[in-house]
Structure 1
Amino acid sequence: MMEILDRRLHAFRPDLADETLKGSVEAANFVRGEPARIAAPVAQLRPGPDLARGIDTELLFGETVRVFDRAGGFAWVQADQDRYVGYLPETMLGTPEEPTHRIAVQRTFLYPGPELRKPPTATLSMGSRITVVGDVETRGTRYFVLSTGGAVIARHCLPVAETMGDDYVAVAEKFIETPYLWGGRSGFGLDCSALVQLSLMMVGKSAPRDSDMQVSIGSAITREELRRGDLVFWKGHVGIMENEQTLLHANGHTVSVAREGFEEAVKRIGWLYEQPTGYRRLG
């Protein structure tokens, strides 16, 4: 009997599957997948090739994927960052290139050239990967010129090998009042588990995408041990302890990333999601 694999993390359909899954799934054909990168500011990943379907997650500009199929204007891909599988419009894909920097502020504008007085052509989220080919100073402001065209404010970027420090909670705090978006994973809108994943990514740590996957990271602790940086899980929800008394989380109650007293949050959430299911401390 074959193991039942999570379709969010493994690319397989009756007609086609990732070649690494040979022997684990049944499919008419197996393919390696071709590399590509995200060429849109944000690409929404869906469980099927239909824009009316709900969003599972989002991929950021410059992140890379493997493309297993292209049909009907959609591509079936798997993200290299967290292995998530889904469908996105084929027009959102571009040729892979080696990134040199990442956006390190919540959001920044992409200008047609090194001039902030010109109308921007796009807005990029924290975590977006860019390839810098030059820099220009205009009236004292330094810009990075990108291989894809346009320019961004240089001080809004970090080299890909650098991080935003080692305190991921400080990164999460930068998203306060960002709108809540189911499946969102960017500075334009995110959900509870994306707040955890994106904040950790910016300090050089990895985490799975969804809260039911994140329950296995770190080590279990008790409620009495909670401190800054610990995670609190409910069924279908996760929050970050900002300190011993305050929870930081993207939530549907405020429809934003918000601070909330931990005990108050437990009482409020309890009527719908019951009590917390676990507490974890990251290594």
Structure 2
Amino acid sequence: MDRRTLWSNGAVAHISLQDEVTAERFTDGEVRRVTYPPLASLCKSPMGNRDREILWGQSFNVLETDKGWAFGYALRDGYAGYIEAQMLAPVEAQATHRITVRQTMALSVPDLKATKAEHVALSLGSEVCVTDTDDKWATVMGAPHTLYIPASHLTPLNDKEADPVAVAERLLGTPYVWGGNSAFGIDCSGLVQIACHACGIACPGDSDQQMAQLGETLDPGTPLQRGDLLFWKGHVGWVSDPDTLLHANAHSMSVVHEPLQAAIQRIAAQGDPVLRYARLTRL
């Protein structure tokens, strides 16, 4: 079984796996939210390497907490791993909105000129519970106190965008970070996932999972269109238009537009041909 989607570490497992794995204890878990700004690393083991990141306000089902580390899985995609327990808090209220701009600042007072106000940087895709709004500000539940976000930077959680490439393009210039999922640093699969989720498209976390699960495979020679995906071994990118690839990559160390055929040839020269062309069925 793939450990990334296996909700068990041997000591504890999710109750749905009771007839499938051996564990000392089975549990439904307890849903928590990331409240440590602006995100938390999801690691393959306690104090281990980062696999992915979970943004402020997003949910994590905790199956066990031991020595300061919580084992469980992200509700957004089922990705299993460990998060520092101090970065999680009980769910006091359900998230109502998400950040739709590349980055925003959550302030401790609703005043742009309050130079002594505390501020928390939040990424595109972060989730918040809005308790009040006016023409300019949204009041949100924060940790440990109320915060204020420009209302124009939010949209209701259930409102889905129509164009995942337009979402991904908001992150142009974002630094490349292996395992990154935010506007502060992102990798190729993170760029695909954050855009898909904004459009209501289910999407796993890593590029090999995405290659196996996303869209319909295109026959060789099919004309490409905006929103198609290209997969290589360990890499994925969006087709921005028939001549342009949009991807987070270690060649430029950022999210960039790159001439499509030039990118295909450059990556092929490294020994990695395109393995799959895919079209998202929702588009």
Give the TM-score, by structure 1 length.
Answer: 0.93
1:174 corresponding residue in structure 2: 170
Distance 1:21 1:232 in 2: 34
1:10 corresponding residue in structure 2: 6
Moved segments of 4+, more than 4 Å: none
Q: Which amino acid aligns with 2:175?
A: P
Q: Which amino acid aligns with 1:204?
A: G
Per-residue CA shift, 1:199-230, capped at 9, x if unaligned? 11112222111111111211110342222111
Distance 1:171 1:221 in 2: 23
CA contact (8 A) 1:113 1:145 kept: no
Per-residue CA shift, 1:126-163, capped at 9, x if unaligned? 111111112356xxxx1111122110111000011212
2:200 pairs, out of 183, 201, 204, with 204
More divergent stretch after superposition (238-247 vs 271-280): 271-280
What is the SS of the residue equivalent to 1:75?
strand
Give the deviation of 1:72 after TM superposition. Answer: 1.2
| Structure 1 portions without partners, runs of 5+ | none
RMSD: 1.3
Give the deviation of 1:113 after TM superposition. Answer: 1.2
How has the CA–CA distance of structure 1 residues 155 and 98 changed in structure 2, closer, same or farther, with 3 Å as cutoff? same
Q: How does 1:129-278 map to 2 (within 5 A)?
A: 129-136=127-134, 142-148=136-142, 149-163=146-160, 165-215=161-211, 216-225=213-222, 226-278=224-276
Give the paired residue count: 272
1:34 matches 2:30: yes
Distance 1:175 1:282 in 2: 20
Q: How does 1:47-126 map to 2 (within 5 A)?
A: 47-50=44-47, 53-96=48-91, 97-118=93-114, 119-126=117-124
How has the CA–CA distance of structure 1 residues 32 and 259 changed in structure 2, closer, same or farther, with 3 Å as cutoff? same
CA contact (8 A) 1:109 1:120 kept: no
Give the deviation of 1:245 after TM superposition. Answer: 0.8
How has the CA–CA distance of structure 1 residues 273 and 72 changed in structure 2, closer, same or farther, with 3 Å as cutoff? farther
Distance 2:260 2:219 in 1: 14
| Structure 2 portions without partners, runs of 5+ | none
Give the deviation of 1:174 after TM superposition. Answer: 0.9
Per-residue CA shift, 1:231-265, capped at 9, x if unaligned? 00000000111111110000000000011111111
How has the CA–CA distance of structure 1 residues 93 and 273 changed in structure 2, closer, same or farther, with 3 Å as cutoff? farther
Give the TM-score, by structure 2 length.
Answer: 0.93
Distance 1:64 1:6 in 2: 21
CA contact (8 A) 1:229 1:281 kept: yes
Distance 1:273 1:248 in 2: 21
CA contact (8 A) 1:235 1:273 kept: no
CA contact (8 A) 1:234 1:273 kept: no
CA contact (8 A) 1:103 1:128 kept: yes
CA contact (8 A) 1:180 1:255 kept: yes
How has the CA–CA distance of structure 1 residues 157 and 258 changed in structure 2, closer, same or farther, with 3 Å as cutoff? same
Distance 1:235 1:194 in 2: 16
Identity, in percent, stands at 37
Q: Which amino acid aligns with 1:277?
A: L
Give the deviation of 1:120 after TM superposition. Answer: 4.1
